[in-house]
Amino acid sequence: MTHLERFYRIHGLLRSARQPVPMRRLIEELGVTRNTITRDFEYLRDFFGAPIVYDRDRNGHYYDPKPFAAAQAGREVQAMFIDSHKDVCFEAEGESGRQGRVILKA
């Protein structure tokens, strides 16, 4: 499974869950280690601005429903949520001016 395939699966699990998704379920569904999922979360947060948060009380991860925009280390990050189908498009521009975009379809 490639990084993008994992990102898509993570998005699907978080988007469709009514409750925060426990790490154990992510490990089972994706067939990777806790460390790999943690790195994927960090990458999605840092590069694409994905609003993935952890709820300690409910022991799971979910998308933060609040709108957000972040500027970090000279890098503008934007995320656009397309509500009609709950697709998500993460766009980022790094310090070098290099741009990236990932669209995750519902």
pLDDT at residue 64, rounded to an integer: 86
Backbone angles phi, psi at 97, to 5 degrees: 90, -5
Domain map of the chain by residue range? 3-104
pLDDT at residue 87, rounded to an integer: 53
pLDDT at residue 31, rounded to an integer: 96
pLDDT at residue 37, rounded to an integer: 97
Residue count (the chain): 106
pLDDT at residue 30, rounded to an integer: 96
Instruction: Mention the CATH class of domain 3-104.
Output: mainly alpha
Could you list the mean pLDDT of each consecutive 10-residue stretch along the chain, which spans 106 residues? Answer: 88 90 97 96 87 94 67 38 46 51 54
